[in-house]
C-alpha cells in the first residue's frame, strides 16, 4: 500500500491542496487502484515554499505538486512503487 500525504496547511490550502487530493482520488479510482494507494491529508510538512507539498509513505523527500502536474507526478513517483 502506497500512502500519499498531501499537506493541507495554510500555504498548501491556498495553492490548491484539495484540488490535488481530488485529482489523486480520481486517478486512483479510474485506474482501479483503490486497494493499493491511499490519499491522506497531512498538516504542515514543513516545506511551505513547495506548496502543494506531497510526501510518499514515510520517505523524507517532499514533492511540489499541483492539479496540472498531479497525473505526471503519479505516473513518475507512485506507479513505480506499486
Q: What is the CATH number of the domain that holds 48?
A: 3.40.30.10
Helix (H, G, I), strand (E, B) or coil at 65: coil
The values of phi and psi at residue 36, to 5°, are -125, -20
> What are the tens digits of pLDDT across the range 23-78?
999 999 999 999 999 999 999 999 999 999 999 999 999 999 999 999 999 999 99
pTM for the full predicted model: 0.96
The DSSP call for residue 6 is: E
Give the integer Cα–Cα distance in Å for 16 and 33.
23
**Which range marks the domain in which residue 73 is found?**
2-81
Amino acid at each position: 500500500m502506497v500512502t500519499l500525504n498531501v499537506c493541507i496547511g495554510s500555504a498548501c490550502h491556498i495553492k490548491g491542496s484539495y484540488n490535488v487530493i481530488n485529482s489523486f482520488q480520481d486517478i486512483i479510482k479510474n485506474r482501479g487502484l483503490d486497494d493499493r494507494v491511499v490519499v491522506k491529508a497531512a498538516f504542515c510538512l514543513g516545506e511551505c515554499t513547495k506548496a502543494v507539498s506531497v510526501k510518499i509513505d514515510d520517505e523524507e523527500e517532499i514533492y511540489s505538486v499541483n492539479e496540472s502536474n498531479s497525473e505526471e507526478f503519479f505516473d513518475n513517483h507512485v506507479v513505480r512503487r506499486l
